[in-house]
Amino acid sequence: MVRRNESLDRFAEAPTGRKAAKIPFEFVLEALAPLNPTTRLMFGSTAVYVGERIVFALRKKLGDTHDSGVWVATTEAHHASLREELPSLRSIAVFGVGVTGWQNLPEADDDFEDAALRACALVRAGDPRIGKVPARKKAVAKMAPAKKKAPAKKG
């Protein structure tokens, strides 16, 4: 079962009477179901988390045939090796020129579903090339006060 976090639940219950946002490419969530993924809205896309690691963003925009698809959270160091397993993986145009950690499995490609399912299989196998802890979570962890040791009792 896929759990949505509270922010998405609040969005789904908005007083405007809107229905909950439909998550694109739900087959990705079904493929990750054994890992109990969670989702959050992120810049008009659906972020997919396994634990505290973001692994994918699911993006489907009308008229956007270039960047709609499954965005893969990775780092530049892993691009080449991931492309060997996912040949359709490419940079995201909306980010402009330059290399980012995010890569896209474009919906417009003929093998889109197969490629997305292969990426899900890598996540299920614990492949360290996919997924990262968002910088915000890392910063919060660094700011947490260190636990103090209780003084040793004499006696």
> pTM for the full model?
0.75
Confirm if 91 and 104 have CB atoms less than 8 A apart. yes
- Mean pLDDT is highest, among 3-12, 14-23, 119-128, for 119-128
Tell whether the model's pLDDT for residue 8 goes beyond 70.
no
Mean pLDDT (whole number) for 51-62: 94
Phi and psi at residue 103, to the nearest 5°: -130, 160
All residues at 6 or more sequence positions from 77 whose CB lies less than 8 Å from its CB, including other chains: none
Mind listing the pLDDT tens digit for each residue in 98-152? 788 899 999 999 999 999 999 999 999 999 999 999 887 555 555 555 555 555 5
